[in-house]
Structure 1
Amino acid sequence: MSDMTFERMIQQMTPAIYESLKQAVSLRKWPDGRFLTPEQTELCLEAVMRYEMENGVPEQARVGYLEQRTCGGASSGADVPPERAGLARDASHD
């Protein structure tokens, strides 16, 4: 019987295995094309997240990272690039 635990698996995970699991979660399928089950997706995602935490992956490079932006009254919109400025305009008057 194997004494491999989830914790030990994370500790022994290589960067190549991490990247492979991260890609599998992103595509929802294994490198050979077989689809991940919901349970496999959940376990792989947990493994990826644990690896990132335990190996000091920068927050901006972690799975699921979203850049925080201000909204509402605190946002002046001054940092919005011109090509995106019209995205929220009211198109009903066009």
Structure 2
Amino acid sequence: MLELLKFVLEKLDFVKLAGAIRRQRNRKAAAQLYSVLIQAYEILEVYRVLLDQLSEVLKDREVSDKQHRYYLNTRRVGSLLKRQASNLGVLDLLIRDLRDELRVQ
């Protein structure tokens, strides 16, 4: 999912799109495009936090009798996953609102 999001963000030239939208005097669409960018960065940030959490869990694991014990704060991870689901839903709505302006080629 992260690779897909990175791919989409790399393919979209936000500066060029924002310039074209502004030239058409469509400031609402330019603001929506900016919201898409901010939401995408929020999604990437939550992924970073999740990966940091999982990395810490793996570093602090205990090995005894060929068994690995992990201590994961499931409430924290669950909260982050719910937040990420919400973020992805918001991004979906924002992109749907801009489907006429955004054409990924």
* TM-score scaled by length of structure 1: 0.29
Which structure shows the bigger proportion of residues in strand conformation? 2
Q: Which gives a bigger RCO, structure 1 or 2 (Cα 8 Å, sep 6+)? A: 2
* TM-score scaled by length of structure 2: 0.27
